[in-house]
Amino acid sequence: MAKVVLITGASAGIGRAAADRLHAAGWNVVGASRRGTSSGGWQPLKMDVDDDEDTSRGVAGVIGEHGRLDAVVASAGWGLAGPVELTPIDQAKAQVETNFWGVVRVVQRALPAMRDQQAGRLVLVSSIGGLIALPFQAFYSASKYALEGYAEGLAYEVEPFGIHVTLVEPGNIRTDFTASRHTIGEDPSGAYAEAAAKAITLMERDEMNGAPPESAAAVIQRVLESKRPRRRVSVGKVGERIGIPAKRLLPHRLFEKAAGSSLGV
């Protein structure tokens, strides 16, 4: 019997690439998104992870239809760019709502079925930006930093039930994430305008020249099919991924100087 995987954010980017790849590999894929569309032969599901009732209905429907849920790939998310000082609180909250609480909602609804099965895989799509904070994307980084801590704590709790948690941490990936990013409007004082424009332009250039989403999908498949999945797996170009051990090993002033230069500040 094919294993059942629920993928959020499946209408685009890494989520869609993962849905296509896992479907081709023989998984029974349910791809959830606000659009409720499918790019292949996998089953689409219209579900908004920002909404409690919609998420409960969606996950319960998958379990009811298929009788089990073997894995969740939480990939729904979006980006918010701009100076912290100028970011409206409602937009900052919306960023965390999807990128963090959206994951929490799906996981909470999936866990009872996985506990009953005494088995399950939770793959949470984080970011290298959840390990190395990004200038003019502070709330995006905050949402991913929160996800990192949540996943680590969660892993302790669910391991006795045969449930494994892995964080996949992409660097720059070439998707429509770039075009759909929300950017804060004009800076009335002009204090941040030049620095923000430089950093965001560099960030968008690096994303458009980033690794293909299929590279992240391949890692997700490997994690799901591994007997001993790792807690964290980074994805992307070596030059980006090297920053993760560098942050641990270098004095913070030296690291931040080097990182700031590469990030356009």
Catalytic residue among 126, 127, 141, 143: 126
CB 224 within 8 A of CB 72: no
Alpha helices in 209-262 (DSSP H): 213-225, 238-241, 243-249, 252-262
Catalytic residue among 140, 145, 150, 192: 140
Catalytic residue among 3, 11, 127, 143: 11
How open is the CA angle 71-74-80, to the nearest 5 degrees? 175
Catalytic residue among 144, 150, 192, 234: 144
The four Cα atoms 164, 48, 99, 113 give a dihedral, to 10 degrees, of -10
* Cα dist from 138 to 72, 116, 198, whole Å: 27, 39, 16
The answer to whether 33 is a known catalytic residue is: no
The answer to whether 126 is a known catalytic residue is: yes
**Six-digit token string for 30:** 């349910």
Catalytic residue numbers?
11, 126, 140, 144
